[in-house]
Structure 1
Amino acid sequence: MEGLRANKTRLQSGFIAMEPGTGLVRAWVGSRDFEQDQFDHVSQARRQPGSTFKPFVYGAAFVQGARPTDVLVDQAMDFTIGPGEVWHPTDIDVPSGQPMTLRDGLAYSKNTITAQLTVRTGPVNVATLAKAMGVRDSKLDPVMSLGLGTSPVTLREMVTAYATIANAGRYVPPLLVSRIEDRKGRVLQAFRVPVAEEALPFAPDVVLLDALRGVIDRGTGTAIRNKYGLQGDLAGKTGTSQDNVDGWFILMHPQLVAGSWVGFNDARITMQDPWGQGARSALPMVGDFFKQTLKARLINAKATFPRLTDPEVVPQLEAWWGVTPAPAADPMAVTLPEVASIPEVTVAPSTSVAEPAVIAPQEGWGGNSIPRAVVVAPPRDPIVPGRPALVRGPERAVVAGAQRETTPIARAVPSGEASGARGAPPPVNPYRSQEAGF
């Protein structure tokens, strides 16, 4: 009995870090102690991601033409999900009843705002985007509560998807082994860097990344700045599932993305309120990891993501939102973040272009169709053995937007409706699962 009790009440965790541009996995910790638990909480454990799933909702909305300055009302709202069934998502705090921008809704992890946005955007579109970005193995139920993180996923999938955001919307699968050598150092097998494929068009990706900066600078992830003293261009998201069952945190740097999960193997056992939230349980591991990584100068503290105000980005955003027509014959070149290289791996040039995932717009953001942006990545230069990382210039891509009408899209204005409800749900009904919003 003592052994069973110890096993049930032993807090577990998982951690993974990978390069967004190459997919190279730099750290992978499956459990706190392999001798005690051989279960891999990075790739085997499927848990509710809570608020870390919200970026897919906002990303899908930005694809459809929404802007970070669009507003929805922070108030309680009932959603009819079936005969006699009503979904009533809420936050820990009482709704303010005031208009809130989408940027603030994500930074402060408001369930009321995210629930409304999920309905407007369409759960199917949210699931489609999440799969394109990296959540490809777990089943995602396209229901209204999906945006609050009710479908169980793995930590590996979530960090891979966030790496897509950090990689200008281009998905690169994780690469665990770059080469195999014998005892004399001879290379027996070398593995190519996976070819990137567009999952999220460049313009909405930059908007989403900028909104996720707010989580770190003034939202639920400010401990990264205040407690761990991390500076530089960082973005990320906290997450907590119902009753503090799962704590999540994922942080993005232009050269490295890392995430952690904390919880018990038995989901019926919950963490206490003082430390159960993702910002208090999972964030410390990621914060300390990045602190040591920056201290050792393994990544460049001055590396930056594209910004909304960059001269190369502004025309792309205007074209995407329909402010100005996109050029047809002379597409603009957009500088993408530097990508760290993997030594002693030859990369074959690729001439193929991945088709973007089709995400149909829903009513509510204006316009019947949103022109797609096509990102054409040039062939990569072969990686020379012995060359230090980041010696290459920034990778460049051509982003061409389809011709658009100059009529501005309809802004998302307060509808007078609201969202909100919480309650512990049986696993058979995803609507009864609600994450805490942190």
Structure 2
Amino acid sequence: MWVLFGGGLVAFVFYILAVSVNFLNLFGRMPNLKTLENPKSELASEIYSADGVLMGKYFRENRTPVGYKDLPQNLIDALVATEDARFEEHSGIDPKAMGRVATGLLTGGSGGGGSTLTQQVAKVLFRTRADLNDGILNHVPGLRMLVIKTKEWIMAVRLERNYTKREIIAMYLNINDFGSNAFGINVAAKTFFNKSPKQLNLEESATLVGVLNAPSRFSPVTNPERSKNRRNWVLSQMNKYGYIDQRTYEQAVAKPIVLHYSVENANKGIAPYFRTEVSKSLLQWAKETDHDLYADGLKIYTTIDSRMQKYAEAAIAEHMQLQQKWFMQHWKGQLPWRDETGRVIPNFLQTSIKRTERYKSLFNRFDGNKDSINYYLNKKYKMQVFSWQGEKEMMMSPMDSLAYYKRYLHAGFMAMNPINGQIKAWVGGTNFKYFKYDHVKQGKRQPGSTFKPIVYTAAIDQGYSPCYQRPDVATTFPAVAGRAPYTPKNFEGGFSGRSFTLRQALARSMNSITAWLVQKLGPETVVSYAKRLGITSPIEAVPAVGFGSSDVSILELCGAYSTFVNKGVWTAPMMVTSIADKNDNVLREFVPQTREALSEETAYIMTYMLQASTTEPGGTSVILKTGFKFPYEMGAKTGTTSNYSDAWFMGITPDLVCGMWVGGEDRSIHFRTGAYGQGARLALPIYGLFMRKVYADKSIGINTNPFPKPQQPLSIEIDCSKYYGGQRDTIPYDQKLNQTDLNDLNNQDI
């Protein structure tokens, strides 16, 4: 018997050594010492605002670790009592538990689980049943589980040598899956109870420990009764091992599970459109530097100001809710998709549906069979849809859904600091969950008159003064290469014949004088200045270039207007300031990209020109002074495209440049009149609502000083008051509309 015992002991030792070194590749790999000392689990990368607010995360497994000091004692007690009552007594393997399991197997009964907490950490952390399961014997029935368990024993002992008991407890709670896309106790506490782990009470801790055994089976969301029974069993274990007394146990089991359930996802959090756009550049950086954005626990620090972002989102929601109401009334009982003559576009929905993923999926599924495709396109389903009154459930077919959403107006908004290029607010649309398309960078539309300042910049640079006078008369571009003669008209349709200074002309957004400047300068000159000011989208050198005939993005226009404020220095809009690893070691810092684009004098004169829009009688943006009553210097420019398809507004202050656009998903969907569809009415109020909140929030510290003047005296005259004469009281029809009807714009006291 002694020989057999000794031989068995020697064989066992050799077996353990053989598994440890993967003898002849019989048992599969073991983690090396470096991996054991630095075990890695997937950690969510976190993205922060400039003022230190967590905006959201990038993850495959939503996991954010916490230290032992951040764990409540009742959670630790619940875990030990339930999973490993002798945790403090063993060194990774519990002989009593293993003996109990062996006895159960020999007698045909159940001995319960024999794995210690440390073994469970090894199983999850090193994926012993997947990644380390590649040896020859792993494919032999009966031996596979023995080899796996042996590896877990070995690694458990090694973990106990490398880590303290507290570190192992923290590791266990950080790596395990709690269901509902919550990995680790930190995310689980927030998901189920909207708390940090430290704030969990006894019942909540017991609930989460109970979930660990089988997250789906014991989920308090999908299986509340089963979860409560499991929680009560955990509490009974705590009572059994002396962690809580009988009275505490009885009081706890009598309480219901009270959830504050919310699953983190990409649709939630601060600035979701911005986060999506940032992820594109981060993925490229991660690829180049061998990082994993979704697993390395990176910390991304952005330029966004969470307060400004909140105000921008609120302004969009407040304004667009009312505009949508008016739009639905405007087209009540009629189809809004119209061609340039105002006629309904035939087969509009049938053509549009073919661009959707639903149609493409059905086309592939039924090999292009029209009858089958049309059947499912017109079959009604119960679906959640967006509305400004909140989500609602409706019976709709895919065709119904398309028609429903095509009637919605969309918007984009961006605010940036023109001095350093930092983007402070980014709202890519009205609701990220339902409308993923980003209208700040991804979307490009004709900018209308917001492009005119580029024409005037070229004129100022060529020696024209803001006080230069030009009569309001027609300018005709002759026919060229088959193109018909082109005579741009003013907004009101005619020409007054009176003379206006260039400053007045820009303030009133007069097409006649802009057309004359384009003709004098040449379309090619205007295009070259657009490129100097950071416009990278293709711009056609055509007579209509000065009226924004080529598509651009809000992002590009904000960069261009920032050049005026930043003394002629173009600064690329900047989204991220730095990236750090999970231990806060800085991996990359970003600096603004800049280049000299204009002289300081030209840039200042353009800020002076743009201010006229808010101060000159007839200015397209006087409502900012007369309605919103902003007392500070600000420049502005409205923009409206043909048929009112696109409404734009650009606003500048000494340290903030804002751009916004409003329109339909398709250019054929829009208001029919300027009374509703012009930029001063459909886009400008977003700026007013936003700036009102920004100025009111003293913690932001927005600059209210005048635009700084150049140190050197100006070489041209800018005081045009002596040229005005009696024309200062003349206000064109469209501007009268701004000042009267805009007072009722949002049914607000503005």
Fold in common (TM above 0.5): yes
The reply on whether 1:91 has 2:493 as its aligned counterpart is no
Q: Secondary structure of 1:317's match?
A: coil
What letter matches 1:300 in structure 2? I
Distance 2:621 2:712 in 1: 26
Partner of 1:284: 685
Partner of 1:366: none
The reply on whether 1:177 has 2:576 as its aligned counterpart is yes
The structure with the larger Rg is 2
* Residues 82-105 of structure 1, C-alpha deviations (whole Å, 9 max, x = no match): 146100110122210111111111
The reply on whether 1:58 has 2:58 as its aligned counterpart is no
Q: Secondary structure of 1:250's match?
A: strand
The 5 Å alignment of 1:88-127 reads: 88-93=487-492, 94-127=494-527
Residue from 21, 27, 31 that aligns with 2:429: 31
Partner of 1:400: none
The 5 Å alignment of 1:358-397 reads: none
* Residues 315-338 of structure 1, C-alpha deviations (whole Å, 9 max, x = no match): x425x99xxxxxxxxxxxxxxxxx
Partner of 1:140: 539
What letter matches 1:143 in structure 2? V
The structure whose RCO (Cα within 8 Å, separation 6+) is larger is 1
Q: Secondary structure of 2:478's match?
A: strand
Q: 1:80 to 1:196 in 2, by over 3 A?
A: same
Q: 1:224 to 1:183 in 2, by over 3 A?
A: farther
Partner of 1:255: 655
Partner of 2:564: 165
The 8 Å contact of residues 409 and 662 in structure 2, kept in 1 or not, is answered as yes
Residue from 630, 638, 641 that aligns with 1:241: 641
Distance 2:635 2:469 in 1: 22
Partner of 1:420: none
Distance 2:416 2:611 in 1: 19
Distance 2:649 2:701 in 1: 20
Q: Secondary structure of 1:79's match?
A: coil
Q: Secondary structure of 1:20's match?
A: coil
The 8 Å contact of residues 654 and 703 in structure 2, kept in 1 or not, is answered as no
Q: Secondary structure of 1:38's match?
A: coil
Distance 1:55 1:259 in 2: 14
* Residues 148-201 of structure 1, C-alpha deviations (whole Å, 9 max, x = no match): 1111111110111111111111111011011224556x1433423214211111
* Residues 15-74 of structure 1, C-alpha deviations (whole Å, 9 max, x = no match): 001100111111111110111111110111110000000000000011110111111110
The 8 Å contact of residues 17 and 257 in structure 1, kept in 2 or not, is answered as yes
Deviation at 1:271, TM superposition (A): 2.1
Residue from 469, 473, 487 that aligns with 1:71: 469
Long gaps (5+) in structure 1: 322-438
What letter matches 1:248 in structure 2? W
* Residues 376-423 of structure 1, C-alpha deviations (whole Å, 9 max, x = no match): xxxxxxxxxxxxxxxxxxxxxxxxxxxxxxxxxxxxxxxxxxxxxxxx
Partner of 2:604: 206
Partner of 1:293: 694
The reply on whether 1:43 has 2:445 as its aligned counterpart is no
Partner of 2:548: 149
Partner of 2:75: none
What letter matches 1:196 in structure 2? T
Distance 1:34 1:54 in 2: 32
* Residues 307-364 of structure 1, C-alpha deviations (whole Å, 9 max, x = no match): 4xx7x342x425x99xxxxxxxxxxxxxxxxxxxxxxxxxxxxxxxxxxxxxxxxxxx
Q: Secondary structure of 1:14's match?
A: strand
Q: Secondary structure of 2:512's match?
A: helix
The 8 Å contact of residues 655 and 703 in structure 2, kept in 1 or not, is answered as no
The 8 Å contact of residues 694 and 702 in structure 2, kept in 1 or not, is answered as no
Q: Secondary structure of 1:237's match?
A: strand
What letter matches 1:106 in structure 2? L
What letter matches 1:166 in structure 2? V
Distance 2:640 2:404 in 1: 24
* Residues 231-250 of structure 1, C-alpha deviations (whole Å, 9 max, x = no match): 21211111000111000001
Q: Secondary structure of 1:207's match?
A: helix
What letter matches 2:669 in structure 1? I
Distance 2:703 2:428 in 1: 27
Partner of 1:189: 587
Aligned residues: 314
What letter matches 1:180 in structure 2? I
Greater share of strand residues, 1 or 2?
1
The percentage of aligned residue pairs carrying the same residue is 35
* Residues 281-327 of structure 1, C-alpha deviations (whole Å, 9 max, x = no match): 111111111111111122434322134xx7x342x425x99xxxxxx
Once the two structures are overlaid, the 10-residue window that deviates more, 273-282 or 12-21, is 273-282
Distance 2:484 2:407 in 1: 35
Q: Secondary structure of 2:479's match?
A: strand
The 8 Å contact of residues 46 and 152 in structure 1, kept in 2 or not, is answered as yes
Distance 1:113 1:187 in 2: 56
Distance 2:484 2:543 in 1: 13
Partner of 1:232: 632
The reply on whether 1:304 has 2:702 as its aligned counterpart is no
Q: 1:22 to 1:301 in 2, by over 3 A?
A: closer
The 8 Å contact of residues 23 and 193 in structure 1, kept in 2 or not, is answered as no
Q: Secondary structure of 2:485's match?
A: strand
The 8 Å contact of residues 179 and 187 in structure 1, kept in 2 or not, is answered as no
Partner of 1:363: none
Distance 1:84 1:51 in 2: 22
Distance 1:250 1:205 in 2: 16
What letter matches 1:189 in structure 2? L
Q: 1:81 to 1:269 in 2, by over 3 A?
A: same
The 8 Å contact of residues 129 and 200 in structure 1, kept in 2 or not, is answered as no
Distance 2:523 2:512 in 1: 15
